[in-house]
Structure formats: C-alpha cells, structure tokens
Amino acid sequence: MTHPNTADTGTQYDLFERTLSERADQWLQTPAGKEAVRLFVELAHKAKRSGFRRYGGKALMEAVRWEHKLAHGPKAPGLKINNSHTSYVVRHVEQEYPDLRGFFTKRATGQAIKRRRAVVVPIREAGQQ
C-alpha cells in the first residue's frame, strides 16, 4: 500500500517544506545574501553607468561570484549562491532600488509560470450550450 504523501518515486513529501520563494527570502537576510546583494547592486549600477539599458540578472550573479573570489583570493570559500535565487535577488533589488527597476532581463519564477499555465474553464449550468 502506498502512503498518501508518497509520490510515484517512492519519496515522502515534507508537508512543511518551505517554498523556493521563502528559502530565497531567508537567504537574503544572511551575511552571504547581504554581501551578494551589495555586490549585485554595485555591478548593476556600474553596468548602467557604462551605458547598458538592460542587463541579465544571471550574468550579474556570475559576476558577483567572480568579484567575491577576486577580492578574497583563490583559497577563500566561495559565496554560496543558489542559482534558483537569482530571480528573487533581481526582484528584491528592483524593489529596494527604484533606479534599477526594469534594468534586468529575467525569467519568470516557477510560481508565475504555473499561473500562466492555469486553464480557466467556464462552468455552464445544465441545459446551457
């Protein structure tokens, strides 16, 4: 008999697991998250001053990793940044720095994609065509 909280893969779902959005919001409050945002904003402003009208959030996040490594040396531990957090960092920065709103190219979050895929079917009463 299969447990109701078990997927076809045989793994147990954690009913209390945090969403990606919640994990990203929590990470943004950590020292690593704050450092990543600081560098991200610094690089975004630099790109904007250089004449870029738009720039990719993912490209900036890779530059954040690079800049951190250069500043702290090859033996320093890297800045722990989950690739899935990039879109949340971009949205956080756009909210906190109005001058950077609309500057970033970004992908939709998983939640936004699910909403777009939702199909609304009108319910008809019996006898309606």
Measured CA to CA in angstroms, residue 28 lies from 3, 11, 44, 66 at distances of: 36, 29, 17, 19
Name the residue with higher pLDDT: 84 or 110: 84
Q: Work out the percent of the chain whose per-residue pLDDT is above 90.
A: 36
- Rounded average pLDDT over 40-46: 96
Residue 55 contacts by C-beta under 8 Å, 6 or more apart in sequence? 44, 47, 48, 103, 104, 105
CB atoms within 10 A of CB 25: 15
Q: Which residue is associated with the tokens 């699910």?
A: 114
Per the structure block, which two tokens stand in for 52? 């870029």
Write down the pLDDT at residue 4: 45
d(CA 44, CA 31): 20
58 has pLDDT over 60: yes
d(CA 26, CA 43): 23
> What is the band of 79 on the pLDDT scale with cuts at 50, 70, 90?
confident
Q: Give me the chain's average pLDDT, please.
A: 79
Question: Is 61:40 a contact under the CB 8 Å cutoff?
Answer: yes
Residue 121: strand, helix, or coil: coil
d(CA 64, CA 118): 35
Residues facing 67 on adjacent strands: none
65 has pLDDT over 80: yes
What pTM did the predictor assign?
0.69
Write down the pLDDT at residue 55: 94
Write down the pLDDT at residue 83: 87
> What is the band of 61 on the pLDDT scale with cuts at 50, 70, 90?
very high
